[in-house]
Amino acid sequence: MGYELIDHTGDLGLKIRSVDLKSLFCEAATALFDVISDLDLIEVREEREISVVGMDNEELLVAWLNELLYLHEVERLLFRDFKIIEIGEGKLKGTAGGEALREEYHIIKTAIKAVTYHQLEVRKENGGWSGRIIFDI
């Protein structure tokens, strides 16, 4: 997978790399649920449409991930399949596929309180895109 963990004393972070901006956002979401749970155990049984706004790509990335985290916490969903339909002009539209948490089956490895703006980065480099995010856990 296109990410590596950043070892932060209090919390945990991710560095993500991808070929384009849309797949960077998908990689980040996949990494988020890879940290939370075991991706291999998640099946795609339902899908949610997600729309968020943000001033720039960085804020959009945090908003997208925090929206997924919100659905995880309130509707107890685990996701593994992501698509970005459109991104630009301060808006993002995408979908997330997954299923409701089954307590006796799925595992929760890490509880994430929030995706923070600390040292946040989304940028074009070497013909691809890279991102950096720190979670509060």
Interface with other proteins (CB under 8 A): 5, 7-12, 55, 58-59, 63, 66, 70, 72-74, 76, 101, 108-111, 113-114, 116-120, 134, 136-137
E strand spans, 1-137: 3-7, 12-18, 46-53, 77-88, 91-100, 114-115, 121-125, 128-136
| Shortest CB 119 distance to other proteins, Å | 7
Token readout for 27 is: 């990689």
Q: Which of 65, 42, 43 is nearest to 52 (CA)?
A: 65
Q: By C-beta, is 5 or 19 nearer to other proteins?
A: 5
Nearer to other proteins, 19 or 111 (CB): 111
Nearest approach, Cβ of residue 16 and other proteins (Å): 17
